[in-house]
A and B are shown apart, each in its own frame.
Chain A
Amino acid sequence: MATQEMITYDKIKGVHNIPLEEFYTSGHRTCQGCESATTMRGFIKAAGPRSIVTGSTGCMYVANTSYMTTPWIVPWMHTQLGASGSSAIGMAAGVRALKRKGKIKDEHINAIAFCGDLGGGDMGLSGISGALQTNYDLLIIMYDNESAANTDIQATGLTTYGAQTTFTPPGKKTRIMQKRWKKNVAGMLAVGHPTCKYIATACATYPPMDFLNKVRKALAIGGPTFIHTYDPCPKGWDYHPRYSHELGELGIKSGLYPLYEIVEGQVTYTYDARPKKSRIPVNDFLSKQGRFAHLIQEDIDYIQKMVNQMWDEWEIPGIAPLKGVLKSK
Chain B
Amino acid sequence: MMTAERVHTDRKVYEREELLNGCQAVAHGVRLADVDVISAYPIRPYTEVMDQLSRIIADGELDAEYIIADSEHSQFEIAKHASSVNARAFAGSSGTGWCYGFEALVVTATDRLPVVYIVGNRALDDPGAFGVEHNDAMAVRDMGWLLLWVTTPQEALEHILLAYRIAEDKRVRMPLALAMDGAFLTHSQHIVKIPAKEAVKKFLPPYDLGAGRLHPDNPISIAPQVNEDWVMEIRRQNWEAAKRARGVIKEAYKEFNAIFGERYSNPYFTEFMTEDADVVLIGLGQIAAAGRTAAKRLREKGQKVGYIGLRWFRPFPTLELREVLKRFKAVGVIDRDFAHGSPDDGGVLLHEIRSCLYPAKNRPAVTNFITGLGGRDVSIDDCIKMFGITQKAMTDEKLDDYVTWIGVRE
How far is the CB of B388 from the nearest CB of chain A, in Å?
50
Asked if B85 is at the interface (CB within 8 A of a chain A CB), the reply is yes
Residues of A close to B137: CB separation below 8 A: none
Q: Would you call the interface of chain A mostly helix, strand, loop, or mixed? A: mixed
Instruction: Report the separation of the CA atoms of residues A130 and B64 in the bound assembly, to the nearest whole angstrom.
Output: 19
Specify which chain B residues have a CB less than 8 angstroms from the CB of A94 in the assembled complex: 36-37, 65, 81-87, 89
- B143 at the binding interface (Cβ < 8 Å): no
State whether A90 touches B77 (Cβ < 8 A). yes
**A51 and B216 contact, Cβ closer than 8 Å, known pairs A77-B81, A126-B70, A127-B71:** yes
Distance in angstroms between the alpha carbons of A152 and B78 in the assembled complex = 29
B contact residues around A11 at 8 Å (CB)? none
Interface centre among B79, B220, B221, B223 (most CB of A within 10 A): B221
Select the residue from A68, A70, A74, A94 with max chain B CB neighbours within 10 A. A94
Contact of A93 among B37, B226, B230 (CB under 8 A): B37
Q: How many residues of B contact A (CB 8 A)?
A: 43
- B380 interface contact, C-beta 8 A: no
B36 and A85 within 8 A (CB): no
Choose the segment among A13-21, A59-67, A247-255, A290-298 that binds chain B (4+ C-beta atoms closer than 8 Å).
Answer: A59-67
Kindly provide the distance from the CB of B97 to the nearest chain A CB, expressed in whole angstroms: 15
Instruction: Tell me whether A37 is interfacial, beta carbon within 8 Å.
Output: no
Alpha-carbon distance between A129 and B74 when the two chains are bound, in angstroms: 11
Cβ–Cβ < 8 Å partners of A80 in chain B: 73, 77, 103-104, 107
Interface of B is mostly: mixed
How many angstroms between the C-alpha atoms of A93 and B63 in the bound complex? 12
Query: Which of chain B's residues have a CB closer than 8 A to the CB of A76?
Result: 219-222
In Å, the complex CA distance between A130 and B218 comes to 28
- Chain A interface extent, by class: 35 or more
B215 touches A75 (CB 8 A): yes
Closest residue of A by beta carbon distance from B35: A97
Q: Offer 10 A-B interface pairs, CB within 8 angstroms, sorted by A.
A: A70-B224, A75-B216, A79-B81, A82-B73, A86-B81, A94-B86, A96-B65, A101-B36, A101-B63, A103-B206
A interface residue numbers (CB < 8 A to B): 49-52, 54, 61-62, 65-68, 70, 72-80, 82-83, 85-91, 93-98, 100-101, 103-104, 109, 126-127, 129-130, 134
Given contacts A76-B222, A89-B81, 17 further A-B contacts (CB under 8 A): A61-B225, A62-B225, A67-B230, A68-B224, A75-B219, A76-B219, A80-B103, A80-B104, A86-B78, A87-B81, A89-B39, A90-B37, A90-B80, A90-B84, A93-B82, A94-B81, A97-B87
Closest 4 CB pairs of A and B: A90-B81, A94-B87, A94-B82, A130-B70
